[in-house]
Amino acid sequence: MLLSKDKPPILIVGLPRSGTTWLASVLNTSKNIKLFHEPFNMDHVSEASPHWLKYLRADDNDLAFKHFCQKVFSGKSNHPYIKCKLTGHYSRLKKRLSWLPGRVIVKDVHSCAALDWIDHNIAPQIVIITRHPCGLASSWLRTFKSSQNNGRGRALNRLLAQPKLLEDYLHPFEDDLRNSDTFFDNIALYWGAIYYILHKQYQTHPNWIFITHEELCRDPIKEYKELFKKLNLEWTSKTDQILATSTVADSGSSYSPMRVSANEPSKWLKQLTPEQIEIIQKKTSLFKLPFYSKG
């Protein structure tokens, strides 16, 4: 069952540390927005465990996944983690949230492999954000210290455990994915695999919006105004305020969207070693993606 097309929900997707939090925070400054945070994050939402990084074809009949998505995208989820980013009267009236009018925005970093299904069955406006793989790796290096052990990461294991995903997209890269055993191998191949899937699907969905973190950082006002227009969102004084405060100073917290945005696109050049950069570029080049092809 498709949701209303009058004010369709918005889905923001990308990998962790790709800029989804900043993007969602800025869009959340428009009027009457219900922002739902990472519903597919199984580390915080136990119900999401079977749906984490799940791949579905558009016509697959998965009733549990469908029910979960409909609850989230209709604004009826009551999970405290999913509702943790609600603001204004939505935050104060969480128990009556489903009764309140407003447009739903879902920010998620674990549903990328199901995007074709979500588009076909839920029909949100989809915004995909990507970030340079070296920038992503640099951010992961600072943020996810516990994930820097050798051995293939759980995300790659999840992708490899889905035969239909291998058949449809990842078969050419299966050996490389299975042989990944270091932190930088893992993140480069995960970046390549996810954005390979998204890029292939984006080519058949011209209505999807594909943006880069670097574009937003270099000219936030221009890029966000274009995005607000495409999504039919109203620009407010709060939008001006968040862009004024979130782009000129670094909060020091990995989980805060406050950064000196002009420095973000190239900061990784000073944070990664030449050897680390070479590994990332070598692994991501396997996927022959059209963005960041020149380093």
Q: What pLDDT digit, counting tens, does each position of 237-262 carry?
A: 999 999 998 876 565 665 566 667 77
8 A C-beta contact, residue 125 and residue 231? yes
Is there a contact between 113 and 198 (Cβ–Cβ < 8 Å)? no
Q: Which two tokens stand for residue 59?
A: 């016509």
Report yes or no on 216 lying in a domain.
Answer: yes
In a domain, 163, yes or no: no
For residue 130, what are the β-bridge partners?
212
Give a yes or no: residue 189 inside a domain.
no
> What are the tens digits of pLDDT across the range 124-169?
999 999 999 999 999 998 887 655 565 678 999 999 999 999 999 9
H/E run at residue 65: helix 63-73
Angle between helical axes of 20-27 and 220-230 (0-180°, round to 10): 70
What is the DSSP code (8-state) at residue 146?
A: G
**Assigned domain for 250 exists:** yes
Looking at the domain assignment, is residue 52 inside a domain? Answer: yes
Domain that holds residue 241: 10-149+198-268
Phi, psi (degrees; rounded to nearest 5) at 262? -65, -25
Nearest 10 degrees: Cα torsion 196, 269, 224, 9:
40
pTM of the model: 0.91
Task: Give the pLDDT of residue 262.
Answer: 78
CATH code of residue 127: 3.40.50
Question: Is 185 within a domain?
Answer: no
Domain membership flag for residue 273: no
Mark residue 57 as left, alpha or beta (left: phi above 0; alpha: psi -120 to 50; beta: remaining): beta
Q: How many domains does one find in the chain?
A: 1
246 within domain boundaries: yes
